[in-house]
Amino acid sequence: MKVLVLFGLVAFALAEVTRFEGEKVLRLKPVLDEHVTLIRELADSIELDFWSPDSAELVTIDIDVDIHVPAAFLELASTRLQQSDMEVEVLIEDLQSSIDAQTGPTPRTHSYTKYNSWPRVQSWIDAISTSNSQLISKQSIGSTYEGRPMTLLKLGKKSSTTKPAIFLDCGIHAREWISPAFCQWFVKEALSTYGSDSQMTSLLDQMDVYVLPVFNIDGYDYTHKSNRMWRKTRSRNSGTSCLGTDPNRNWNAGWCTTGASKNPCSDTYCGSRFESEIEVKNVADFIRRNKSNIKAYLTIHSYSQLVLFPYSYTYQLAAHHSELLKVAQGAASALRSLYGTRYTSGPGAATIYPAAGGSDDWAYDLGVKYSFTFELRDTGRYGFLLPESQIKPTCMETMLAVKYIAAYVQKNL
């Protein structure tokens, strides 16, 4: 009896869910130095959850600053903001209602037009990788911090020799749910259009595409079960109860020099050293092992509608800047041709903000010339809570951009 009660309590504690009743997402428009200072001060004194840019250090004049203000701090934040003359817009009135509205009732099966939980994605990976053995296979590249297997899908016509390849990952950041949805869509489209779409056929004949459907699996699972707004990994940090490292600040590319935090409680914590995160180490090891074949590295995030390329850790232009800009712009116009969705392209540091330790810069410096970060829909109306009705159009237009880059890489092998 006692054991049962205890078990129930433990289960209850484990099942604890963070709720966001009455919490708002605000868009601040700093146009003066005082505004920037105020935002930084607020961030120091209260717990602000930065949606865009990723942290207080990245706030500058003339950029939109989207922040989620936890209920406990809403009063204080509103008072301080009203005292200033900065323009403030309410993007989301009640975060919990928006979260509830984003997904319908939990689907019973995997669906390409829904946000699938990790167990659903995992069984989808197992099913799809055995469905068409001429075109797809899976391999493990290691486990996550919490022990979940990281499975990489390899798409491409079987060949006796090693083919040049493209590496595509999704879900580096846990709360950017549209990203894993895109990787799943990409795999489905690749398999179902091979043989009928001439570009996809020639791509998979000549090249392999490695797809990592969810990079930060522990974080992704946590956003489904406990805290929808989680961004980082779920690893322990010494000397604090704050968990996780930003897996896009943990790479050996100007590691932790700019746009990243040394505070383990921050959402942009760079980690105790580069590759401290096992997920980052696993992917970096795989790309290093295969670096002579990997010709392009594509990583999918949200939101902001951007096609970014190196560098983000410095304002210096990449050696292949003009070519990368041309390819990014080509990808953005291919994307726009479908529904008119506008994307901005450019090097990370100058286009959004300097932020070191990212996977795109690391891959580029390793020698993978065509290295791009996508920030998918939208521009802030829903932010991370993009409705499921937008999964299909977002994925369809993004396919055009990714296929544009793939075709370019293929032509320039």
Cβ proximity to ligand ARG, 341 vs 373, nearer residue: 373
Query: 324 and 370 in contact (C-beta within 8 Å)?
Result: yes
Task: Using CB under 6 A, pick the residue from 231, 301, 369, 403 that binds ligand ARG.
Answer: 301
Q: Which does 295 bind (CB under 5 to 8 A by kind): ligand ARG, Zn ion, none?
A: none
Cβ proximity to ligand ARG, 151 vs 179, nearer residue: 179
Task: Using CB under 5 A, pick the residue from 110, 232, 301, 369 that binds Zn ion.
Answer: 301
Instruction: Find, among 323, 307, 313, the residue nearest to 401 by Cα.
Output: 307
Instruction: Find, among 189, 174, 179, the residue nearest to 227 by Cα.
Output: 174
| C-alpha–C-alpha distance, residues 66 and 91, integer Å | 8
Catalytic site positions? 375
| Contact mark string toward ligand ARG, 368..397, x via CB under 6 A | -----x------------------------
Q: Which stretch binds Zn ion (CB under 5 A): 21-29, 64-72, 205-213, 299-307?
A: 299-307
Q: First and final CA of the chain: distance in angstroms?
A: 68
Taking the complex as a whole, the smallest distance from the CB of residue 171 to ligand ARG amounts, in Å, to: 12
| C-alpha–C-alpha distance, residues 298 and 404, integer Å | 12
The answer to whether 361 contacts ligand ARG (rule: CB under 6 A) is yes
Task: Using CB under 6 A, pick the residue from 66, 189, 218, 360 that binds ligand ARG.
Answer: 360
Query: Site residues for ligand ARG, window 234-263 (CB under 6 A)?
Result: 248
Query: 366 and 291 in contact (C-beta within 8 Å)?
Result: yes
Structure tokens at 65: 């600053």
Task: Using CB under 5 A, pick the residue from 27, 35, 120, 173 that binds Zn ion.
Answer: 173
Task: Using CB under 6 A, pick the residue from 30, 70, 271, 358 that binds ligand ARG.
Answer: 358
The answer to whether 120 contacts Zn ion (rule: CB under 5 A) is no
| C-alpha–C-alpha distance, residues 50 and 304, integer Å | 14
The answer to whether 35 contacts Zn ion (rule: CB under 5 A) is no
| Contact mark string toward ligand ARG, 142..171, x via CB under 6 A | ------------------------------
Structure tokens at 363: 């891959």
The answer to whether 54 contacts ligand ARG (rule: CB under 6 A) is yes
Instruction: Find, among 115, 126, 99, the residue nearest to 23 by Cα.
Output: 99
Taking the complex as a whole, the smallest distance from the CB of residue 52 to ligand ARG amounts, in Å, to: 8
Taking the complex as a whole, the smallest distance from the CB of residue 172 to Zn ion amounts, in Å, to: 6
CB atoms within 10 A of CB 110: 18
Q: Which does 221 bind (CB under 5 to 8 A by kind): ligand ARG, Zn ion, none?
A: none
Task: Using CB under 6 A, pick the residue from 187, 280, 298, 355 that binds ligand ARG.
Answer: 355
Query: 169 and 286 in contact (C-beta within 8 Å)?
Result: no
Instruction: Give the binding site for ligand ARG (CB under 6 A).
Output: 54, 248, 301, 308, 312, 348, 355, 358, 360-361, 373
